[in-house]
Amino acid sequence: MGASAASSRSLRERVGALRNLRPFLLMVWRTSPELTAASLVLRLLRAVMPVATLYVGKLIIDNVVLLVQAPHKPETLRLWLDSGLLNWLGLLLLAEFALAVLADILGRVVSLSTACSPSA
């Protein structure tokens, strides 16, 4: 029972600390509204990136399973490429790569915007 009370107390303390969030955000907003808005938008975009990457990965796996189960599969790589069956898969792989690069760029821009803030 002692461990449970300690964990609920720490949870209560953690939730209670959220009451400081609004004054903190107001202070940051007064420092630089443009930079704060840009930082929030960039952080939201960065938070969506893993979900988008997972979804594209799911589409890649679904497409590979569909191609493997095709009744009349080409026998060589050249025939696969000539048939056009790999076009969608190639586009998905390119999208996955682009999302990975974009996630890295967003991470760097968020770091840069944090370092350039007047309060930093």
pLDDT tens-digit map of 10-65: 888 888 878 888 888 888 888 888 888 888 898 899 999 999 999 999 999 999 99
Q: DSSP letter string over 20-83?
A: GHHHHHHHHHHH-HHHHHHHHHHHHHHHHHHHHHHHHHHHHHHHHHHHHT-SS--SSHHHHHHH
For the full predicted model, state whether its pTM sits above 0.85.
no
